[in-house]
Chains A and B, each alone.
Chain A
């Protein structure tokens, strides 16, 4: 029923480019929130979570993935250079998604770094 052929490498690059940055930021953002809540709540504070280590790890990890996604998007874009905006798939669609990913991943990388820097700098549990 579903086509059984293995996806070409450029397809994988395109999908990673499109979703990699978004997935990385989502995980980092949610995990940073969980770490902060865990650190600043009476019940969970006693679990001894090393918040700084988690924040650093999450941020660096997410940044690496997002940068990788941007690279993948760049490669896809270069390989489909010259494709018209509304060209027939797969070339037109690959080019379209790679362009979307190139812009999106810049945004996600910025979000990951801003989230990371902010959460590392503003670490006290005092009221905002």
Chain B
């Protein structure tokens, strides 16, 4: 839809009413009470970016320590904390909140033609809980007692006997806290994608990014309980002397690992699936071609997530478990590659069949495909049990998962930042600098992580704070550290470019890249109500259906699905997207913030074993829930 400011009077009236109804308070109170998915998306974006910086510092500390043999820059315990926090930060406080909380929140309602998420206040709660969990865990860092048993926190090291301080309690309680936030966000995504799609958007007409978010959300819903349970059992054992993980008490240390990896493997697909979604959004736009084999790409997203639940014990091939129990995991691990491969072929074919324009976002996707193929190849090698047993706990594993996590998850995030930057800010970044930032990041990433394959095969173990000289590892480690700093430079160049663009970039307009999905059909940035008229949808690329978009104008005039008489959005049937009812949406509220505050205090009380205080605060939290529920979505 073209500029909103040139409108006939009746349309103008409707838009004015929408502006009034959907406006939120300005200032700090506005941010504390916001329920607008775009503002919440921005809150997630900047918060997870800050945690990315923290995780990056932890990485640079480790790499600096490992640059030379027998280094004593960091003590063993300091290294353990840095290593553990690097993993926890990057996974729980950066990648997931960035891809789901920032990208997912901002884009999903826009892409499906809705005015907000299904549960706007729950959305806000998710953010404040996420922030609370991050601050909770990082207070341990500032107190010098950060978790130090690795992000995987294996028992018996994590039990009271070997780790008596509060470090591990910060870990267990912090991850339970974080898990609640992610679960609520996932519930919101599923309900939104199921119910709030614009009428006409049946599931076969839904953008691929939304399929990715749907797959991620289902994965989180079914995987997080395993981690939550594991952490609860750990705390019951640590605090109340239950017996789950000690053989003497009839337990097993492997119980921790089974539950952890039952969560942990789906988790890695959770990390990478939204990145697939970003790639499948960028490719059609810059290739100027619809995604080849659209249905296969859509189902591949869901298949990866689904089969990924059946492979967890491939993280335990070297634990001494009987082959009889492990063989089915080797089988499934070999097959889980296939859906990802289907996607790679589809992406490459789309680029080849189109007329690709290699601007910065597509370059990052090119980097992503390169790293994903390499990381995928090293990954599939681990499905062979003997190979896995030879390379377990070596740097070969570290190489594999960083190629995937950095190469295949972060590169699309960076590409996506460039791609949607004009939509969110209304301004354009600098293209030549953006391309330079890609190449610097690409070289930096390759130099940091590729040598790890070699040094791993040469026998260097992972999770070590230093190593002896004369083992042939020195040069590789030094080049990895150099690469890490190059990569840092590339990242700083990206952020510098975006900051510059925000204040000095050229005005971008609503659709600078001729994208096919609905976020490009509204202004940059979108108004609080997203669309003045709920768009008519007849394909997965509604913004390329120019006939439908031209029809929006008379529909705005006539008031067809403008819903400007209240704070409303249409709800459709789940499978076929037929209009079902008009839903009233809640407005700003302080209760999500207040509830998150009480929940955070509950966790603090539990940390210090003040159980009565925790109980009292839990009651306060329940009262906050009651107050929230008593504020029903207003009638016009």
Contact = CB atoms under 8 A, between A and B. Distances in A.
B323 A33 contact: no
B180 to A, nearest CB: 26
Contacts of A25: 310
A22 B298 CA distance: 16
Contacts of A93: 202-204, 575-576
Interface in A76-110: 85-90, 92-93, 95-97, 99-101, 103-104, 107, 110
Residue among A25, A89, A121, A124 having the largest count of chain B Cβ atoms under 10 Å: A89
Contact of B299 (A33, A104, A115, A119): A104
Interface bracket on A: 35 or more
B325 A40 contact: yes
A111 B331 contact: yes
Interface of B: 200, 202-205, 294-296, 298-299, 303, 306-307, 310, 317, 320-328, 330-332, 334-335, 338-339, 342, 385, 389, 538-540, 575-578
Q: Give the interface SS of chain B, mostly helix, strand, loop or mixed.
A: helix
Q: Which 10 A-B pairs have the closest CB atoms?
A: A96-B204, A100-B299, A89-B576, A89-B202, A86-B539, A114-B331, A128-B323, A118-B327, A36-B325, A122-B327
Contact of A100 (B296, B330, B385, B575): B296
Contact of B324 (A88, A100, A107, A119): A119
B179 to A, nearest CB: 23
Residue among A26, A29, A95, A125 having the largest count of chain B Cβ atoms under 10 Å: A29
B317 A128 contact: yes
A46 interface: no
Contact of A85 (B204, B342, B385, B577): B204
B320 to A, nearest CB: 5
Contacts of B200: 88
Given A86-B538, A126-B322, 9 more contacts: A39-B324, A86-B539, A96-B204, A107-B303, A110-B335, A115-B332, A119-B327, A122-B323, A122-B327
B292 to A, nearest CB: 11
A128 B385 contact: yes
A128 B264 CA distance: 22
B204 A111 contact: no
A128 B303 contact: no
B216 to A, nearest CB: 18
Contacts of B330: 118
Contact of B204 (A26, A32, A92): A92
B548 to A, nearest CB: 12
Given A99-B295, A104-B299, A107-B338, A92 B323 contact: no
A124 B577 CA distance: 52
Nearest to B328: A115
A66 B114 CA distance: 37
Contacts of A118: 327-328, 330-331
Q: Give the interface SS of chain A, mostly helix, strand, loop or mixed.
A: helix
Contacts of B294: 85
A49 interface: no
Contacts of B203: 93, 96-97
A55 to B, nearest CB: 10
Contacts of A85: 204, 294-295
A64 interface: no
Contacts of A95: 204
A66 to B, nearest CB: 13
Contacts of B306: 22
A37 interface: yes
A114 B321 CA distance: 20
A26 B310 contact: yes
Contacts of A107: 303, 307, 335, 338-339
Contacts of A40: 322, 324-325
Nearest to B329: A33
A122 B295 contact: no
Contacts of B540: 86
B331 A128 contact: no
A103 B335 contact: no
Nearest to B578: A89
Nearest to B317: A128
Interface string A29-62: 1001100110110000000000000000000000
B487 to A, nearest CB: 36
Contact of B323 (A22, A26, A126): A126
Contacts of A89: 202, 204, 575-578
B204 A124 contact: no
B296 A29 contact: no
Contacts of B323: 122, 124, 126-128
B205 A33 contact: no
A121 B327 CA distance: 9
Contact of A114 (B322, B325, B335): B335
B335 A100 contact: no
Nearest to A92: B204
Nearest to B540: A86
Nearest to B339: A107
Given A107-B303, A107-B339, A114-B331, A127 B322 contact: yes
A17 B328 CA distance: 24
A36 B299 contact: no
B576 A90 contact: yes
B223 to A, nearest CB: 14
18 contacts: A25-B310, A29-B328, A32-B328, A33-B325, A33-B328, A39-B324, A40-B322, A89-B204, A89-B578, A97-B204, A101-B299, A114-B332, A114-B334, A121-B327, A122-B327, A124-B324, A128-B317, A128-B322
Nearest to B332: A111
A88 B321 CA distance: 52
A56 to B, nearest CB: 14
A25 B200 CA distance: 34
Contacts of B578: 89
Contacts of A88: 200, 202, 538
B328 A119 contact: yes
A127 B385 CA distance: 12
A101 B324 CA distance: 31
Given A86-B538, A124-B324, A127-B323, A103 B299 contact: yes
